[in-house]
Structure 1
Amino acid sequence: MKVGILTGGGDCPGLNAVIRGAVRVIGNAGGEVIGLQRGWRGAIDGIGTPLTLENTADILWKGGTILGSSRTNPYKNPEDVKKLLASYERLGLDALIAIGGDDTLGVANKLYNDHKLNTIGCPKTIDNDLSCTDVTFGFDTSINICMESIDRLRTTAESHQRIIVVETMGRHAGWIACEAGMAGSADYILVPEMKVDIEAMCNVLKKRREAGKMWGIVVASEGAVIAPEEGYVTSNAKVDDFGHVSLGGVGELVASIIEKRTGIETRHVILGHLQRGGTPSAYDRVLGTRLGVGAGRLVIAKKFGRMVALQGTSIVDVALQDAVGKLKTLDPSFYQDAAEFFTV
């Protein structure tokens, strides 16, 4: 059996663990693995490199992906789908493992449904917003990076008696902002799923200062929706191959609103791609490995059109179409628990 494997969308810690796990299972079974370069771009162009037990043995600890990634969408151009199918045949592939988020796995699902391509999905996103899996690898590392950043920012906020607004990733789901904010003891947290109450936030910050706390931390997800009258705009109108507008600027806007309404000196920090970088946590190394092993086993069993997932403590497989049908947004109970601390 000859299997292609690719990593699409934003990079994240744990991708190499998945690659290593899948290669191990397929290699142990006597199969061959070809790593396709730069996500669906490599699948379209047929650019790949052999992955062996030897050249993947020492990649577990590395962040990012040894295969490279891109946000290429084959379905944006019908000719690219034809090229992808031709490359699949030319490379002699029997199956394809796609590691990615909703966009990447959405393509894998379409290829399975439209062309009966033997695809397997593996869930990857630091946003933790994929359905049918309790957690996605990369998320744990990401929230720990955010928490450590908040801890560092707290010391300078306290020294200068300022408020600092920390902008995290999270286009549609507030998992990162909520959990990192809770772990970092934020004074207030803004997420896409909840209506932003500017007045309540500013009231909390003012009352805490009156009570003697002369500094504060606010964590805002990049997708938090601020009322139009407050002037929120996206950083630019450019969209990627999947139609997503680039977000950015909510942290700066919230900081300006706080300073204007409270009179307290306020700064903002955009964590940006720091959240994606660096070596994966122990949790993400283990989860990535288990998901990679699971994906390899699905290939051997010829169970295509499926995605490996974590449910409870077990690695299971679910239909790809179920996994990409609906985003998993923040569980309201998490925010309700965090909101217990949005008081003086």
Structure 2
Amino acid sequence: MAESSRGKLAIVTGGGPAPGINGVISSVTIEAINQGLEVIGFTDGFKNLVLGDASAARPLTIPDVAPYYHRGGSILGTSRTNPAKKPEDLARVISTLQGLGVKYLVTVGGDDTAFGGSQVYKQCNGAIKVAHVPKTIDNDLPLPPGVPTFGFETARHYGVQVASNVREDAKTTTRWYMIVCMGRAAGHLALGVGKASAATVTIIAEEFRGKPVTLKLVCDILIGSMIKRKAQGRGYGLAILSEGLLESIGEAGLLAAMWDLMPAALVAELKRRSTKEQDEALAEYLGRFGNVERDAFGHLRLGEIEFGRMVRALLSKRLDVLGLKTTIVDKDLGYELRCADPIPFDAEYTRNLGYGAVKFLLSPEADKYGAIVSFLEGKLVPLKFEDMINPKTQRMRPRLVDVDAENYECARRYMIRLEPADFSDPERLQKLAAVVKLTPEKFREEFGHVVE
């Protein structure tokens, strides 16, 4: 391809997949070519760029990208390589881009990809103009209020289909299903899926407002919902848990929960051992629920833990003690959603974002700063890197669910879970206690803490 008179634009996609990546690639390519630019795409994110491998660049034409506008996945692939972790890696990235004659760069991804793009702009003093298109199905990036990250609406759409089918299965088979929904930093996806699928109860980390969260507390909230449903004559339900609960419980909380899951004989034996031996035994037992790995700082990699299976194990043990018989099935939800074909919302949205990225890069503003592309009320709103990314953490401040807003208030109103009124009304308290054959006083002692 002949060198374009207006220069060359490169596209890099990073992080986990999200519905709509191909929509961004397509719209960026089409608009850039229509504006007289040559377009190249790098395969597998920054992975090959940090190696200085220019052969990872492939030319993109309109016929190359147009057929994939409505398709999931990424025709360029993706990776989680962070180009800014090491100065020498970033230097190779910039050298490779400049060696290929790249004047404009569009990055598509989350925190690491955004920070990498911002550092490319900073280290080459704006010689390469950079626009970042934010994506995550978690919807946890701090865009303007009411503006989702692309891919979220599609993930919620298909997540609701799964949850609704599972809810009907629960009703048909008289059992409980428990879905752990992806979203480590925020509970947007869990709440969105739970609310739209009419789940019985949804639990997200934000509702605890920073207070300590224990696995027992999560389980008791779920058991409270089961008891309340049983009192209503329904022995089935659907619970949605946010993956972020695992982070809130933390390593110490998970290890402490192992005491409740271990056989009584093993607990008695461990009580006679040293604290160090106890900690080692607890960590070993935790391995029953996933690969117990530690990072460079010695902390457990919580993402390796099968949270749903752990909650189900503790629930089953607690329910046996209470004499409440029910079948519980756990399911993780997230990976099934990331490469789905985008729904019309995200198809349109990513066209806006791709077009907006090119428009920004060709504007005088791109000479002054690199930016994250956003749209508000139909208008392009470039957000400066320095206003969005904390240089110390190299990340954006996560956007959490606002549990003081009516959106969450509405969600809570339609959940079936224990509420303060269940304990203040003697008749309601008596009815709930009778389900598990406890006195009202004993029921309050067991479950009163879930509404405090």
What TM bracket, shorter-length normalisation? over 0.9
Q: In the aligned structure 1, how far is the partner of 2:203 from the partner of 2:115?
A: 28
Q: Structure 1 regions of 5+ residues with no counterpart?
A: none
1:38 aligns with 2:44: yes
Which residue of structure 1 lines up, in the alignment, with residue 308 of structure 2?
A: 251
**1:125 maps to which of 121, 136, 140:** 136
**1:170 maps to which of 183, 195, 201:** 183
Which residue of structure 2 lines up, in the alignment, with residue 211 of structure 1?
A: 232
Which residue of structure 2 lines up, in the alignment, with residue 283 of structure 1?
A: 345
Greater helix proportion: 2
Contact preservation (8 Å) 1:163, 1:266: yes
1:293 aligns with 2:355: yes
State the Cα distance separating 1:80 from its structure 2 match: 1.3
Q: In the aligned structure 2, how far is the partner of 1:161 from the partner of 1:34?
A: 54
Which structure carries more relative contact order (alpha carbon 8 Å, separation 6+)? 1
Residue identity opposite 2:415 in structure 1: F
1:28 aligns with 2:49: no
Distance of aligned partners of 1:84 and 1:171 in 2 relative to their CA distance in 1, 3 Å threshold: same
Q: In the aligned structure 2, how far is the partner of 1:245 from the partner of 1:266?
A: 23
Residue identity opposite 2:372 in structure 1: M
Which residue of structure 2 lines up, in the alignment, with residue 343 of structure 1?
A: 416
Map 1:1-344; keep pairs closer than 5 Å. Answer: 1-44=7-50, 45-46=53-54, 47-116=56-125, 117-133=128-144, 134-195=147-208, 197-198=217-218, 199-224=220-245, 225-226=248-249, 227-228=253-254, 229-231=256-258, 236-237=292-293, 246-262=303-319, 263=324, 264-302=326-364, 303=366, 304-324=369-389, 325-332=396-403, 333=405, 334-343=407-416
User: What secondary structure does 2:336 align onto?
Assistant: helix
State the Cα distance separating 1:203 from its structure 2 match: 1.1
Residue identity opposite 1:269 in structure 2: K
Per-residue deviation, residues 275-295 of structure 1 (Å, max 9, x unmatched): 212211100100011000000
Distance of aligned partners of 1:314 and 1:113 in 2 relative to their CA distance in 1, 3 Å threshold: same
Distance of aligned partners of 1:237 and 1:315 in 2 relative to their CA distance in 1, 3 Å threshold: farther
User: What secondary structure does 1:62 align onto?
Assistant: coil
Residue identity opposite 2:189 in structure 1: I
State the Cα distance separating 1:258 from its structure 2 match: 2.8
Runs of 4+ in structure 1 off by over 6 angstroms are: none
Contact preservation (8 Å) 1:130, 1:136: yes
Residue identity opposite 1:144 in structure 2: H
Per-residue deviation, residues 129-160 of structure 1 (Å, max 9, x unmatched): 11124111100110111111111111221222
Residue identity opposite 1:40 in structure 2: F
Distance of aligned partners of 1:7 and 1:160 in 2 relative to their CA distance in 1, 3 Å threshold: same
Under a length normalisation based on structure 1, what TM-score does the superposition of the two structures give? 0.92
Q: Which has the larger radius of gyration?
A: 2
Contact preservation (8 Å) 1:21, 1:296: no
Residue identity opposite 1:338 in structure 2: A
Q: In the aligned structure 1, how far is the partner of 2:156 from the partner of 2:77?
A: 23
Deviating more after overlay: 7-16 vs 310-319: 310-319
Contact preservation (8 Å) 1:239, 1:246: no
Deviating more after overlay: 81-90 vs 295-304: 295-304
Distance of aligned partners of 1:321 and 1:192 in 2 relative to their CA distance in 1, 3 Å threshold: farther
Q: In the aligned structure 2, how far is the partner of 1:189 from the partner of 1:28?
A: 47
Contact preservation (8 Å) 1:222, 1:249: no
Q: In the aligned structure 2, how far is the partner of 1:236 from the partner of 1:318?
A: 39
Q: Structure 2 regions of 5+ residues with no counterpart?
A: 1-6, 259-285, 390-395, 418-452
State the Cα distance separating 1:238 from its structure 2 match: 6.2
Q: In the aligned structure 2, how far is the partner of 1:68 from the partner of 1:136?
A: 19
User: What secondary structure does 2:166 align onto?
Assistant: helix
Q: In the aligned structure 2, how far is the partner of 1:235 from the partner of 1:166?
A: 20
- Percent identical among aligned pairs is 30
Contact preservation (8 Å) 1:146, 1:271: yes
Under a length normalisation based on structure 2, what TM-score does the superposition of the two structures give? 0.71
Contact preservation (8 Å) 2:167, 2:199: no
Residue identity opposite 1:191 in structure 2: I
Q: In the aligned structure 2, how far is the partner of 1:121 from the partner of 1:215?
A: 45
Deviating more after overlay: 176-185 vs 210-219: 210-219
Residue identity opposite 1:93 in structure 2: V
Contact preservation (8 Å) 2:155, 2:340: no
State the Cα distance separating 1:327 from its structure 2 match: 1.3
State the Cα distance separating 1:167 from its structure 2 match: 1.1
Deviating more after overlay: 283-292 vs 324-333: 324-333
RMSD: 2.2
Q: In the aligned structure 2, how far is the partner of 1:192 from the partner of 1:202?
A: 18
Q: In the aligned structure 2, how far is the partner of 1:247 from the partner of 1:223?
A: 13
Contact preservation (8 Å) 1:24, 1:53: yes
State the Cα distance separating 1:245 from its structure 2 match: 5.7
State the Cα distance separating 1:4 from its structure 2 match: 0.6
